[in-house]
Structure 1
Amino acid sequence: LVTIVAVNQTGGDIPLSQLYAPNSKIPASGSANLTDYNRVEEILGDTSDLGRGATLEYHPDPNLLVAKTKDAPSATLDCSVGVVAGGTSDIPIAEEARIIAAESGLDVVRAYDVGVAGLHRLFPPLKEMILRDVDLLIVVAGMEGALPSVVKGLIDVPVIGVPTSVGYGYRGGESALIAMLNSCVPGLLVTNIDNGFGAAAAAYAICSRMMKKREE
C-alpha cells in the first residue's frame, strides 16, 4: 500500500485528496505526508531528493512517514476530532487516522483500548471529549464492530466508524464492516476495512466545510 498525501501547501486549505507518485518530491511551497510501506528505509536513508532541508518523522505502527520542509507553514482549523480505538490491535489504524488528521491542522483527542469488552473504560475519555466539545469522532474497532454504534448512541456529534481486520472477526474485518453498516444508530458513517486514512480525510472535509460556513 502506497499513499502519498500533500499537506500544508498553502497554510490554509489542505488537499487531502491530492495524491502523488511514490517518488514525488515535497511540493516547492510546502510539505508532504507519506504512508509508503515499501520505501520507508530508502527514504529515511537518503533525504537529498526531498530538498529544502526536509525533516522526516516515521511512525512505525501505521507505517506513516511525515516529511516537512523547514519553512512549511502549519495549518490549523478550529475543529476538534476524537479518535477512539476499541483494542490495542486497533491502534495502528487509529494512529493512521490521528496523525493524518493532526497534520491536516485538526485538534485531535485520543482514547485507546476502551472497547465494549470493558465498557466502563469508555466513559471517562468520552466525557472528556464531550466537555472539550469535539466536533466529530473517529471510532476504530474490529471483532464484531460494536463500538462505533455504542459511542454514537451516547454522543450527539457525527461518528465515523472504521472497521479493522484484526482480532477474531469473520473474514478479515467483514463482520465488523457489516455490523457498522447495519447499525440502527442514526448519524454513523462507515469507511472500508482498515481505512484510517479515509476517516481522517472525511473528518478534514467535514471540518473545513464547517469552518467555511462559520466564516460566512
Structure 2
Amino acid sequence: METGLNQIEIPFDFRHLCWFCGEPAGHAFTFPNSRHTRVTCAHPPLTLPGCDECCKLAVKANKSSVWAVAEAVKSKLIRRYHEDLAIGVNWTEESLAQSQFEGGNFAGFQKSAWFMYQVAQGRVNFQGWPLVVNGVELFDEVEQETFVFDGISYPSLNDAINHYCRIFHLDKHFFISVLEIYTRNRFAEAVRFCRLTLGDTAKERAAMLKSLASAVEAEVK
C-alpha cells in the first residue's frame, strides 16, 4: 500500500485485515490528514487498511501518532461493545451451554452470546502488525500504557476502570479510591469489594474504605 513515496509493507497473512482490530478491511485510513492536528508527529504520513467502523473512529481521534490513534479506537470499541465484552465477565462458555434458556426468550442469546464475546474480545485484543516504510520499521516514541485483565487487553487502566464501572454500575470515584489501596495488581479484589457496597451510603462507604486501608496496610507489615 502506498502513500506518496512511502511503501507500507503488509504481511501476507494480514493483507486483507484492519490494522486496528483485525476484521476484514475494505477501507483505508491516512494519518495524519487534513482533519488531524499534526503537532509532534515524528513518523511520515501513513495509509493503513481498516474496516469501516475503525476508520470512522480513527478520523475523529485528534492524536499525534498513529499508535495513539489506535489506542483511541480501542477505547471507543470497548465502550461501544461493553455489553458483548460483559458476557465474558458474567459467563463462561460452559455455563452458557448449561444454562436453561432453550425454548425461552433467551434461547437466541444462549446460541450467539459467546460468539459475540469472542468477536469483541478479538477486535479489542488485536495488535496491528509492525509498520515498515521503505524497509525501515517505525517505532512509537511514546511507550503506550496497557492493562491486561481477565482476557482483555485494555489501552489503559482507566479503560478497564470505566468498563467495569459500567458493567456493575459502580461509583467510579469510590472504585478508584479502593483501587489505590489494593493497587492495579489486585484489580479483581477491588471490583468485588465495590460490588459489595452498591447499596451503601456515602458515610458507610467512607467507613469501609478506612477499614480496608487499615486491613491492607496490616497485610504488608
Q: Same fold (TM over 0.5)?
A: no
Shorter-chain TM-score: which interval? under 0.3
Length-normalised TM-score, structure 2? 0.22
Q: Report the structure, 1 or 2, having the larger helix content.
A: 2
Query: Greater Rg, structure 1 or structure 2?
Result: 2
Q: Report the structure, 1 or 2, having the larger strand content.
A: 1
Length-normalised TM-score, structure 1? 0.22
